[in-house]
Amino acid sequence: MHIAVCMDVAPDRKQLERLLGRSTDARIARDPSVPYYIQSYGNKEALLARPFMYDVFFIDIVNDDVTSVELIRNLRNLGVTATIVMCPNQVDLSGELTPEDNVLVLKQPVEKDRLEYVLDRALAANTERKPKLDIRGKHKTDLVYEEDFLYAEKVGEMLIEAHLSDGRVIQCFEGIDSLARRCDKFGKIVCMSGSLIANKEYVASSGFGSVELKDGKKFRVTHKAIKEIKS
């Protein structure tokens, strides 16, 4: 399980790292089949660069222009479905959270039993959860499983069309790079060029720098994408 600690108060961050280290060492001793990896951040920028690799987040932001609540909602808006834990200490904004934020609260100083409960919840959620991709249409956002996404093509500077397995074509008013970032967590959905994101299962054939999709459409793609399709 990959754990991210994002706290901008260094002593608080170091203390939680120590507690997590002790807890995860004990867990690994009991069950070596479940490894734990802890990565710490003192600011939000590095965390937001690769958020989908983590299974649980511990967050407390005090001295930034973005609050803990705003950072949590940024993660949710990106499509992060992993367990998020707010760890308030100097400033407690947990009262601003709503059920839609889907956040656990672990107040500092951290109690061992509460930390164990949070890690148990995160481990269970990680076992059960199946990620969905958010397709942001003009009037609503659709959440679809990886196998239900066929491809998306750029049709304008800030306009893409997402094709789904049920036959729907959804117009999304955003850049294709924005959708590509939300696809990082899926193994079969590949950004194939600056104009195409496609599910590898929907590729009928590939050649030197090009692919043909199962609906007959052909696209020029990068050589890197060809390698990913064939891997």
Please state, as a whole number, how many other Cβ atoms lie within 10 Å of the Cβ of residue 30: 7
DSSP states along 194-222: SSEEEEGGGEEEEETTEEEETTS-EEE--
pLDDT tens for residues 23-43? 999 999 998 888 899 999 988
CATH topology for 2-128 is Rossmann fold (3.40.50)
What SS3 state is found at 126? Answer: helix
Is 132-230 the same fold as 2-128? no
The whole-number pLDDT of residue 83 equals: 95
pLDDT for residue 60 is more than 70: yes
Report the mean per-residue pLDDT for the chain. 91
Q: Is 57 exposed, middle or buried (0-12, 13-18, 19+ CB in 10 A)?
A: buried
The whole-number pLDDT of residue 125 equals: 87
Residue 91 amino acid letter: V
Q: What residues are paired with 164 via a beta bridge? A: 149
The whole-number pLDDT of residue 72 equals: 96
Q: What's the token pair of residue 18?
A: 């120590």
Please calculate the CA angle 142-144-147 and round it to the nearest 5 degrees. Answer: 155
Q: What is the mean pLDDT of residues 87-97?
A: 91
Q: Domain ranges in the chain?
A: 2-128, 132-230
Q: How confident is the model at residue 129 (pLDDT cuts 50, 70, 90)?
A: low
Q: What's the token pair of residue 196?
A: 């195409």
Report d(CA 212, CA 224) in Å as an integer: 16
Q: What residues are paired with 107 via a beta bridge? A: none
Report d(CA 56, CA 1) in Å as an integer: 8
**pLDDT > 90: percent of the chain:** 66
Span of 64-68, 97-101, 140-144, 206-210 with lowest mean pLDDT = 140-144
pLDDT tens for residues 174-199? 999 999 988 988 889 999 999 999 99
| 133, 160 contact by CB (below 8 A) | no
**pLDDT > 70: percent of the chain:** 99
The whole-number pLDDT of residue 4 equals: 97
Homologous superfamily of 132-230: LytTr DNA-binding domain (2.40.50.1020)
